[in-house]
Amino acid sequence: MIDVKDIIKPENLVFKKSKLLLDTPMHYCPGCSHGVVHNLIAEVIEEMNIQSETIGVAPVGCSVLAYNYIDIDWHEAAHGRAPAVATGLKRLLPDKFVFTYQGDGDLAAIGTAETIHACNRGENITVIFINNGIYGMTGGQMAPTTLEGMVASTCPDGREHSRDGYPIKISDLVAQLPGTCYVTRQAVHTPGAVRKAKKAIRKAFENQKLKKGLSLVEVVSTCNSGWKMSPVAANDWMAENMFPFYPLGDLKDE
Amino acid sequence: MGKVRGAIVVDIERCKGCGLCVVACPTDTIVLADEVNGKGYHYAKMGNPEACTGCTNCAMVCPDSCITVYRLKPEKSK
Ligand SMILES: Cc1ncc(C[n+]2csc(CCOP(=O)(O)OP(=O)(O)O)c2C)c(N)n1
Ligand code: SF4
Ligand code: SF4
């Protein structure tokens, strides 16, 4: 019989948290997709050995405090303006790896203009887009990405298009712009999905070296608090309801 | 050759008891404890340590990076 104590030894280590993740406990709700994506970004930066060359731009939204968690340089942006701030940083410091980290309220509502035009200008930056279908931080209000029929605090009977308009597919929109080189939609609800999402984030960072244009990685995510579900139920709901409208996979890879 | 053996160590105080690791584990190794941590969460722990293969699935889906995974090299786990 092997004792657990004989397995837990440094030489048998196969997975530990990235060195770039600070010990500060994350303020996110239990089970929130934000935490998983933070881990992947930290792992990619650590594996590419670009800690001192990377600048993140944090948004307004639940991830406003992202700079407390990953040990790199950060800049905070006003709501929706992260791609504009990232543009300035990258143009002044073209050898740095510059990325934005934005929710769907930030990127697809108040920041739509900054998003579209940074994509259209082909800025050599990476955009990480957390699409959880609502405004998490402010109490689960409807976002431009909220699905038809999906309940949010400002559409308690579900989104209805004659009143609320239609959900917007940002990745499909920006994939049509010549300035984007890589647009992909990923998720982090299963180990397999996490592996794929990590590869996508890695590629989106590598593209900056090749100066190919803007790379956008959408991560279809859950906000289980806002959705009023358990973390496990929120992942199931996402797979059943979000993936048919926001199908996973590459939309563009040039 | 014996079955691959692994083990996890959970950072109990960091854990928020979300249960995502429990469903990600293919061998039903993990359970949420009856006891709570300092934050009041039923933290994750190995309920069935014999079953762990050290596959790292639980650690990959954990939003709070609470899980460290160990795996015995196959020759040692005979
Ligand atoms: C100029 C401005 N308008 C509105 C707000 C209020 N506000 C804060 S966060 C937020 C929405 C965030 O939602 P999202 O980007 O989807 O991120 P999540 O919280 O879901 O991660 C809003 C509208 C603000 N802080 N500043
Ligand atoms: S409110 Fe939603 S998006 Fe914000 S931390 Fe909680 S689960 Fe995550
Ligand atoms: S996934 Fe992480 S935070 Fe959630 S119960 Fe498991 S160890 Fe705890």
In a domain, B68, yes or no: yes
Our count of domains for chain A comes to 1
* CATH value at residue A218: 3.40.50.970
> pLDDT tens digits, residue range B22-58?
999 999 999 999 999 999 999 999 999 999 999 999 9
Our count of domains for chain B comes to 1
Indicate the SS3 state at residue B58: helix
**Residues A194, A200, A202, A205: what is their CA dihedral angle, to the nearest 10 degrees?**
-140
The per-residue pLDDT for A29 is 98
In a domain, B77, yes or no: no
Q: Do A235 and B59 touch (CB under 8 A)?
A: no
Q: Is A73 exposed, middle or buried (CB count within 10 Å of its CB: 0-12, 13-18, 19+)? A: middle
Q: Quick check: A97 and A57 in contact, CB under 8 A?
A: no
Phi, psi of B3 (to 5 degrees): -65, 145
Q: Which domain holds residue A128?
A: 29-253
The per-residue pLDDT for A62 is 98
In a domain, A132, yes or no: yes
Q: Do A31 and B49 touch (CB under 8 A)?
A: no
In a domain, A168, yes or no: yes
* CATH value at residue B58: 3.30.70.20
In a domain, B78, yes or no: no
Residue B74 pLDDT level (bands cut at 50, 70, 90)? confident
Q: How far apart are CA A218 and CA A249, in angstroms?
A: 10
Task: Check pLDDT > 60 for residue B76.
Answer: no
Neighbours of A124 (CB within 10 A): 23
In a domain, A57, yes or no: yes
The per-residue pLDDT for A48 is 98
Angle at A163 between CA A145 and CA A80, to 5 degrees: 35
The per-residue pLDDT for B1 is 46
In a domain, B13, yes or no: yes
Residue spans of chain A under pLDDT 50 = none
In a domain, B10, yes or no: yes
In a domain, B28, yes or no: yes
Q: Which domain holds residue B10?
A: 5-72
Instruction: Tell me how close the Cα of B3 comes to any Cα of chain A, in angstroms.
Output: 11
Task: Check pLDDT > 90 for residue B3.
Answer: no
The per-residue pLDDT for B2 is 61
In a domain, B37, yes or no: yes
Angle between helices A191-210 and A33-48 (to 10 degrees): 50
In a domain, A213, yes or no: yes
Ligand 1 pocket member A62 (CB < 6 A): yes
